[in-house]
Structure 1
């Protein structure tokens, strides 16, 4: 009977947790010690991929879907007619250890609705992490949601036991938060971010001086924005993300397309979810900002406040800046090579390493794994570029899109041939 009740709670609270996408364990380095359970070295998000391409899993649940707030976009809001449940502290600990021993998971992602007040909820999240670390000797990955409005003391304890903490900003602007979550305060979101930034930086400096110094959220902090529930354009969304990266040392900003769950006159109509391609384009732009050296105003601007949906943002930038091309990969700086469509972050490094030994030709780039059918329009190899130099940006775009359609058609035909 007890097992059945816990499994029913798990069904409810795992389903409620699926709307929170701001979980990743990349770059945590918590090692196994004292013959404990697991480690958090390089693990990633639940049923997704780490930066090195491995698919891994986390137990991703809410402590409870009871909530005192009535945020219009949230399935767990207090006015929504859904089945409610709440785990005890010990139930979450037992589930985590049980699933880990069965090799179902590699760690825990734990969020929660707000029981009574932020401190009451945060204290229970901290108790779970503390029990796992100190009583169960669990060294696997733990990601805790930092509850806005919780005390600094509780956040400090959370950082000592968790690998990553995340405070969800939820809406891209303060105006939208006031519209859809009038009970919440934008300052309550920013304040814990600032505190966590200070603690993370301080502990890193202490670790340099004393290698025995304790870890504090070694995988940093992340946040999440709901997109499409209000009318912000991509320039406003990416501008907010850039603020978090610059001012909060945020490890990741996640973008969650609004999913219509019930009628509210403040929200888009039921049946009009945010297109998945918009999420994808925001993530691509986010990578350009974090890893490729792009400024937000190079990707979007007042003349084009939204990302193109038919082409990726790097290709969009290149087509708007044809004066930057062609690029000779044998002499160009790596920062410029990274900006060539079809050449990724790692491929650019391979190119710079390979050109030390010989002058690279198109065949060499193809062996390095770049998307040459896309990159060729922007490269300075004599013959290919002579063939392309008279094309306009629109013509290049059309040819690239046509080649993509042909590739997808051929791939689909090849798959059918297997049956």
Structure 2
């Protein structure tokens, strides 16, 4: 099989993994003439992101889609009737360098099916990163998928060469993982996440200690994971509870949510249809509120239903459930209160606080502060605006904010 055909198979096989991003790493470039690639924007290099934050400028492939595991939700499971292919280490290295030279990519996202054993697979994946870094002096971004059962020494090597490591937890509940992916062990996954956190903390501490020699690097962009949405019966409350626990316990940089997609020859244990893609989108919005806006999971999700509303964003849904807290006088409100106003993003709140120190804020100022006027006005008091008393009590208020087709965004 030629490399072109392998690339078609293995790039397509990798598309289901959403945990792919290039933010948060250290800056490296080849301006000294001794290396190739860059993690920072420069001549001929640009970062390109999808609306949900996914990086789309990486070569994203599997080393092989042959796999010993029989995870029911995975198109590459051992019982799946799909074409199989396998790259050699040198083929992935050459593809990465060729694609970089053509300015198609700025880095590599590499995962693999489990072949022979966890250690053997991890050794092959690490071998690609080692060759790129040591033999070709590649300084672009590298993201490696970590095999939970792999030897600790191999995990350490992966962190030495990669910018980010990730381990997919797959589904939020242990019982679901045992049913859908019997070869996988959620305890092993969490143990490896814990090992990664310890190594990341150690590297961070070493970087703060004055020394003549540069401390060993370890995955400077941290670790991430992915959860499949809609492959089991877990509701949004369960998914977000699991995410909050992962962020708190392992200092993950990111939890990615991937809407389940029906696969050929699917098991009867799987849903017949995919969940609405907007559910994935709402989970990303809720995740953002937890990480950057000070919300708790219990505040975001309606406790009675356990699901996020699909027709409006979760911050707006929270505000409509707590109308008694509005309208908010933005001249006096705290930063924490301002972050809960629909339409106010973190940067907009910082601009508001800086502006109100020197002048009062009027309706006309909202555009300059990059705040969507129609979304914010029912919830705030400005120097020249106070919403009518009956507006917040209007049952039709939510209808004003429901997006039309192709208007979905983070919209905070």
Q: TM-score, normalised by structure 2?
A: 0.92
2:316 — aligned with what?
A: 315
Q: Which residue of 1 aligns with 2:84?
A: 84
Distance 1:383 1:303, change over 3 A: farther
- Report Cα offsets for 1:15-53 as digits up to 9, x if no partner: 0000000011101114125520112237999952499x9
Q: Which string of whole-angstrom CA distances, capped at 9 and with x for unpartnered residues, describes residues 380-410 of structure 1?
A: 2376434254442522112333xx54997xx
Residue 40 of structure 1 corresponds to: 39
Q: Is the 2:361–2:382 Cα contact (8 Å) retained in structure 1?
A: no
Partner of 2:154, secondary structure, is helix
**Cα distance, 1:389–1:381 mapped onto 2, change above 3 Å:** farther
C-alpha distance in 2, partners of 1:406/1:309? Answer: 13
2:115 equivalent to 1:118: no
Q: What SS class does the counterpart of residue 364 from structure 2 fall into?
A: helix
Q: Is the 8 A contact 1:27 1:41 kept in 2?
A: no
Q: Does 1:18 align with 2:18?
A: no
Aligned match of 2:26: 29
CA shift for structure 1 position 134: 0.5
Aligned residue number for residue 410 of structure 2:
none
Match of 2:253 in 1: 251
Asked if the contact 1:319–1:393 (Cα under 8 Å) also holds between the matched residues in 2, the reply is no
Match of 2:347 in 1: 346
* Cα distance in 1, alignment partners of residues 345 and 105 from structure 2: 31
User: 1:353, CA displacement in angstroms?
Assistant: 1.2
Structure 2 counterpart SS, 1:105: coil
d(CA) in 2 for partners of 1:385 and 1:224? 44
In structure 2, the partner of 1:276 is 277
* Cα distance in 2 for residues equivalent to 1:239 and 1:367: 37
| Partners of 2:307 and 2:54 in 1: CA distance | 32
Structure 1 equivalent of residue 160 of structure 2:
160
Question: Post-superposition, which runs of at least 4 consecutive aligned residues in structure 1 deviate over 6 A?
Answer: 42-46
Q: Is the 2:21–2:55 Cα contact (8 Å) retained in structure 1?
A: no
1:146-181: CA deviation from partner (whole Å, max 9, x where unpaired): 012111111011001000000000111101101111
Structure 2 CA distance, aligned partners of 1:62 and 1:344?
37
Tell me if structure 2 keeps the 8 A contact 1:30–1:140.
no
SS in 1 for 2:329: coil
| 1:61 match: secondary structure | strand
Deviation, 1:284, is: 0.2
With a CA cutoff of 8 Å and minimum separation of 6, indicate the structure with the bigger relative contact order. Answer: 2
Shift of 1:274: 1.5
CA distance in 1 between counterparts of 2:4 and 2:386 reads 62
Structure 1 stretches lacking a partner, 5+ long: 409-419
What is the CA distance between 1:323 and its match in structure 2?
1.8
Specify the SS of the correspondent of 1:394: coil
Alignment RMSD, CA only? 2.3
Give the equivalent residue in structure 1 for 2:191: 191
Structure 2: distance between partners of 1:311 and 1:384: 25
Q: State how far apart, in whole Å, the 2-side matches of 1:399 and 1:353 are.
A: 30
Q: Equivalent residues in 2 for 1:121-136 (5 A)?
A: 121-136=121-136
Alpha-carbon separation, structure 1, partners of 2:294 and 2:35: 41
Larger helix percent:
1
Q: Which runs of 5+ in 2 are unaligned?
A: 408-412
- CA–CA distance in structure 1, aligned partners of residues 7 and 91 of structure 2: 10
Range with bigger deviation, 90-99 or 378-387: 378-387
Cα distance in 2 for partners of 1:249, 1:406 equals: 36
Q: Does the Cα contact within 8 Å between 1:100 and 1:106 map onto a contact in 2? A: yes
Number of the residue aligned with 1:413? none
**1:98 CA displacement:** 1.0
- Cα 1:216–1:181, aligned 2, differ >3 Å: closer, same or farther? same
Q: CA deviation at 1:301?
A: 4.6
Q: Name the CA distance, whole Å, in 2 between partners of 1:11 and 1:240.
A: 34
Larger mean Cα displacement after TM superposition, 184-193 or 80-89 = 184-193
Q: In structure 2, the residue corresponding to 1:352 is in which secondary structure?
A: helix
- Structure 2 counterpart SS, 1:385: coil
Give per-residue Cα distances to partners, 1:229-249, cap 9 Å, x unaligned: 100000000000001110000
Q: Does 1:202 align with 2:182?
A: no
Alpha-carbon distance, 1:85 to partner:
0.3
Q: 1:235 is matched with which residue?
A: 237
**Superposition pairs of residues 48-87 of structure 1, within 5 angstroms:** 48-49=49-50, 57-87=57-87
| Structure 2 residue aligned with 1:215 | 217
Q: How many residues align?
A: 400
1:311-364 deviations in whole A, cap 9, x for unaligned?
A: 000000101111221111112111211110011111111111111220111111
- 1:235-270 CA-to-partner distances (Å, cap 9, x unmatched) read 00000000111000000000000000133110011x
User: Could you tell which deviates more after superposition, 95-104 or 384-393?
Assistant: 384-393
